[in-house]
Amino acid sequence: MTTRPIDRNDLAALYAECAAALDDGEYERWPAFFTEDCSYVVTTKENLERGWPIALLSCESRGMLLDRVFAVQKTLFYVPRVQRRLVGGARLVGAGDDGAHARASFAVFETLVGEHTTLFAAGRSLDVVRYEGDALKFAKRTCVLDSSLVPNSLPFPI
């Protein structure tokens, strides 16, 4: 893999663009922020700390991301809503064979049709990023929710 150093602006842009694609409902743009052999996981602090392998959502390939997007857009039933993500504290914390290791904190706000905006979740992400050509991508992304308790349901990725 490339040892090209990660430009902080690229990292910030990756987080911002990925969040915006989901917030703006442009789910079809989301898989392209990941490498082909990516892993994408949403789990809880509880599962992580207990060493339990179950995740709320666990994709082992970009194909699974595409299937998730298909479900979100075509098969899942959910009450109409919009989410809004704020990502903070993005930073590089090391590097491994798989790419550069990054961390960030996030809060997700949710608005159901006709309702107030509410806090949906907060947590942190443990990420591995690397360049594919000029584009920085997630090779691995693990979103860890602080709460064990999901408010109603989680139809979308974090």
Partner 1 sequence: MTHKLNVPNLSAAAWPEEGLTRVPYFLYDDPAVYALEQERIFRGRSWNYVALAAEVPAAGDFARSYVGDTPVIVARDKDGDVQVFVNRCPHRGAQLCQSWSGNAKAFTCPYHQWTFDLKGRLRGVPLRKGVNGLGGMPADFDPARHGLQRLAVTVRGGVVFASFADDVPGFAEYLGPSNLAYFDRVFDGRGLRVLGKQRQRISANWKHVIENIRDPYHATLLHTFFVTFRLWRADQDYAMKLDATGGNAVQFIQKVDRGPTEATRETTSRHADVRLADPRVVEAVPEFADGKSGAMQTIWPNLIVQQTLNSLATRHAVPHGPGEFELHWTFFGYEDDPPEMVERRLRHANLYGPAGLVSADDSEVLNVVQLGATKGPAGRAVVELGGAGTADAEGMVNETMIRGFYKHYRQIMGI
Please give the residue ranges that form the binding site for its own copies (CB under 8 A).
8-9, 13, 15-17, 19-20, 23-24, 45, 82, 84-91, 103, 105, 107, 109, 111, 113-119, 121-124, 145-149, 151
Chosen residue from 9, 97, 116, 124 binding partner 1 by CB under 8 A = 116
- Site for partner 1 contains 95 (CB under 8 A): no
Q: Which range, of 2-10, 75-83, 99-107, 132-140, touches partner 1 by CB under 8 A? A: 75-83
Instruction: For residue 55, state whether it binds partner 1 (rule: CB under 8 A).
Output: yes
For residue 104, give the nearest of 130, 131, 85, 124 by alpha carbon. 124
Minimum distance from CB of 125 to its own copies (Å)? 11
Non-local (6+) Cβ contacts of 17 within 8 A are 33
Q: Which of partner 1, its own copies, none interacts with 74 (beta carbon under 5 to 8 A by kind)? A: partner 1
* Backbone phi, psi, residue 143, to 5°: -95, 120
Burial class from Cβ neighbours inside 10 Å (0-12, 13-18, 19+) for residue 122 reads middle
Is residue 122 a contact point for partner 1 (CB under 8 A)?
no
The binder of 53, among partner 1, its own copies, none, by C-beta within 5 to 8 A per type, is partner 1
Closer residue to partner 1 (CB): 12 or 73: 73
Q: Which does 16 bind (CB under 5 to 8 A by kind): its own copies, partner 1, none?
A: its own copies
CA nearest 91: which of 105, 74, 78, 103?
A: 103
Q: Cα(66)–Cα(20) distance, rounded to whole angstroms?
A: 18
Q: In angstroms, what CA-CA distances link 29 with 69, 98, 128?
A: 9, 23, 19
